[in-house]
């Protein structure tokens, strides 16, 4: 069997990158579902406990889950779990998350894509 110059073996770095991307999207989807389920539940008002939004957002940023942090901020914009004070800070928090993400990127082209 001839090779024909085509490498059929997967690149381990790209597989790792794909796994991280899939995990981040999965976490974002999970958070979105939790926020949706919480906002759609009519009995939630009786059991309302404030979401520790600031702490959770900070944990996402420290873990380097910037896409998930942005998804979380988008969900909390309209969620009854976030208080009004947190909602007012969301635009500034998004900027901070984007800046954290950009610091981790070394390629100037990718930095431009991330900020656009």
What is the rounded distance in angstroms from the CA atom of residue 73 to the CA atom of residue 66?
11
Q: Tokens at residue 54, please?
A: 């600031």
Tens digits of residue pLDDT in 73-98: 999 999 888 889 999 999 999 999 98
More reliable by pLDDT, 106 or 45 = 106
Residue with token string 């069997």: 1
CA quadruple 81, 87, 91, 92: dihedral sign: negative
What is the rounded distance in angstroms from the CA atom of residue 98 to the CA atom of residue 92?
10
pLDDT at residue 16 is higher than 90: no
- The pTM of this model reads 0.53
């Amino acid at each position: 069997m001839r090779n024909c110059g085509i490498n059929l073996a997967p690149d381990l770095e790209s597989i790792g990158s794909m796994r991280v991307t899939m995990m981040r999207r999965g976490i974002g989807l999970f958070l979105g579902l939790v926020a949706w389920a919480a906002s759609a539940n009519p009995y939630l008002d009786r059991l309302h406990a404030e979401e520790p939004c600031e702490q959770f957002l900070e944990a996402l940023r420290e873990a380097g889950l910037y896409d998930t942090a942005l998804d979380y901020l988008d969900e909390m914009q309209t969620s009854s779990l976030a208080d009004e004070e947190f909602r007012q800070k969301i635009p500034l928090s998004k900027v901070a998350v984007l800046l954290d993400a950009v610091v981790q990127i070394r390629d100037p082209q990718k930095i431009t894509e991330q900020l656009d």
